Amino acid sequence: MRVQSLSLAVAGIALLAPTTSPTVVRPTAGAPGAPASHQEGSVRAADLLSRVRDCTPVSRGRYRTDEGAPATIPVCGTEEAVFWTADMDIDCDGRPGPRCNSGTDPLFSAATAFQQSDGRHLSAESLPYIVVPGPSDVWDHRDHGVRGGSVAAVVYRDRVAYAVVGDTGPRGIIGEASYATAEALGIRPDPRGGGAPSGVTYIVFKNSRATPIESHASAVAVGERLARQFARVADADPGGPAPPPVRDGEDEADGTADVRPPAWEEDWGPSDAAEGGEGE
């Protein structure tokens, strides 16, 4: 997580606007420095955004985008997901690498709130992840089916990228994602002055999970499946029958586990032990 002053955030912002029309790119594990894709999977940004035009708040208050900014951002909810639209600050925390380390990021921390299946901290420069606010009286993500490894669709302009919940941040600030998430969306990922000042929508699917948390291929497969269902609801005729749900195991060929674990299943892996800890 990072705490960034409003003046620094505004002064350092630089955006890379897309210059070509969106192209569909199938999910790959990716690597730091790889060219950013315009589209991950086949669900369009417009289809997802049409579903989140109206906000039913699930938070008891609103969040700031940066320290010193006014609190204007609610967390909204539907039956399938929670979402918010904010800025994007760059989180470079986790295992150090050539792009994310104490030399490139003055706020660098070698720890993330959630860990890989092998117990190591996540890598911000290679794994697309988002940051959720630490639990508070305003909102506790755990009460809404959101944990470490939950899958999110992140939308910016005409681009969609899938990510996992990988870190927690300050209890009063929202709008942050890893270096790799920004890169995938065509947002400048520099932790010293990159990011986007507004217009980033984070859609976190309730009770979803990438298995293991560090598998971006799993996040894409699960996210694409749930995003298709989420967008289909928006397209359904309000007076007609609801579209058929996407069942667990429907895409068994993609090698992912069931999207929704049974209600009694509490095994979220070793990352749960650290929730609300080092990443705040």
132 forms beta bridges with 168
The answer to whether residue 119 scores a pLDDT higher than 60 is yes
Looking at residue 247, its pLDDT comes to: 42
Asked if residue 211 has pLDDT above 50, the reply is: yes
Rounded to the nearest 5 percent, the helix, strand and coil shares of the chain are: 20, 25, 60
Q: Residue 235 above 80 pLDDT?
A: no
Count other Cβ atoms within 10 Å, centred on residue 212: 16
Measured in whole angstroms, the distance separating CA 263 from the mean position of its chain's CA atoms is 23
- What is the average per-residue pLDDT within 53-64? 98
Helix (H, G, I), strand (E, B) or coil at 35: coil
Q: How confident is the model at residue 130 (pLDDT cuts 50, 70, 90)?
A: very high
**Of 124-138, 165-179, 265-279, where does mean pLDDT reach its minimum?**
265-279
Rounded to the nearest integer, the mean pLDDT of the chain is 80
* pTM for this predicted structure: 0.75
What average pLDDT does range 251-255 have in this prediction?
40
Q: Are strands 129-133 and 159-169 parallel, antiparallel or unpaired?
A: parallel
| 130, 163 contact by CB (below 8 A) | yes
pLDDT of 41 reads 87
In the predicted model, what is the mean pLDDT of residues 149-161? Answer: 98
